[in-house]
Amino acid sequence: MCEGQDGRTYAEFVRNRRNELLERIERAATSAGRSADEVTLLAVSKTVGIDEVRVAFDCGYRVFGENRPQELKRKVGVARTDPRLADARFDMIGNLQKNKINQVLGNAACIHSVSSKTLAEAIATRAWRRGLRVRCLLEVNVSGEQSKSGFSPDEVRDAAQAIMEMEGMAVEGLMSMAPASDPDAARRCFSGLRELRDELADRTGNPLPTLSCGMSGDFEIAVEEGSTLLRLGRIVFDPAFGNE
């Protein structure tokens, strides 16, 4: 745990940054006629260790995100033996391969990255065998970038109903990642995600309340466009973010 350049401790940095983030979220929500209470701040802990997670927990974070099954399992294991991290929740936010599903089941509170119908089937089968119902989000590639995984909007239109009917699955909403460093494209991505959710909710009768979108560089736009779950990594944990 390093001292900041101006002598502040890391814990002070995380606490001050959190207060600043909550203010910015509040302002963005208000400007869009929303309540900031509708928005959960998930701290993406994939690049930090359990000590930084403890610091963040002490500052008020309760929801964490990991993108590698092994690391998620490891951190959840530590958290379960640490009474100070008792109500920490870890979500799986990264690409999930079928052979890693069992590491995530029973450990992740929610899987954000259900990116195809075959993956959904594989998760559902394993969950059902273990008597679990997995909370999950369908990841949609709204922007259509080649580099991004997820359902295309048409694929999710075709598959959503069937996935919602799978025994082992509790589909709670949609997730997306916006193109980096392009505010207009980010806004189109987030509003497209919301419109797709509204359409699917109408058609299926499942309200799909969760919209997981918004990262360090675009979270205020995401709040304005209806995000309920921001996934923030660098801006939460990295004192150098924004200074590069």
Nearest CA-CA partner of 236 in 7, 34, 65: 65
CB of 42 to ligand PLP, least distance (A): 8
Among 46, 62, 148, 157, binds ligand PLP (CB under 6 A): 46
As a whole number of Å, the end-to-end CA separation of the chain is 21
Does 231 bind ligand PLP (CB under 6 A)? Our answer is yes
Among 55, 119, 174, 215, binds ligand PLP (CB under 6 A): 215
Residues contacting ligand PLP: total by CB under 6 A: 14
CA dist list (Å): 82 to 51, 87, 89, 162, 197: 12, 10, 13, 39, 37
Q: Determine how β-strand 40-44 pairs with β-strand 89-92.
A: unpaired
CB of 81 to ligand PLP, least distance (A): 26
Contact 151, 115 (CB under 8 A): yes
Contact 222, 194 (CB under 8 A): no
Which residue, 163 or 178, is less far from ligand PLP as judged by CB? 178
Does 141 bind ligand PLP (CB under 6 A)? Our answer is no
Binding range to ligand PLP, per CB under 6 A, among 76-84, 183-191, 197-205, 228-236: 228-236
| Integer Cα distance of 173 and 243 in angstroms | 34
Residues 72-111: x where in contact with ligand PLP by CB under 6 A, - otherwise, as a string: ---------------------xx-----------------
Among 216, 223, 225, 229, binds ligand PLP (CB under 6 A): 216
Does 14 bind ligand PLP (CB under 6 A)? Our answer is no
Which residue, 149 or 161, is less far from ligand PLP as judged by CB? 149
Name the H helices within the chain: 10-31, 50-59, 69-80, 101-104, 117-129, 153-164, 183-204, 219-224, 234-237
Tokens of 230: 């921001």
Does 232 bind ligand PLP (CB under 6 A)? Our answer is yes
Helical packing angle, 117-129 and 153-164, nearest 10° = 20
Which residue, 110 or 215, is less far from ligand PLP as judged by CB? 215
- Binding residues among 188-207 for ligand PLP as defined by CB under 6 A: none
Nearest CA-CA partner of 49 in 78, 69, 17: 78
CB of 79 to ligand PLP, least distance (A): 19
Judged by the rule CB under 6 A, the positions of this chain that interact with ligand PLP are: 44, 46, 67, 93-94, 177, 215-217, 231-235
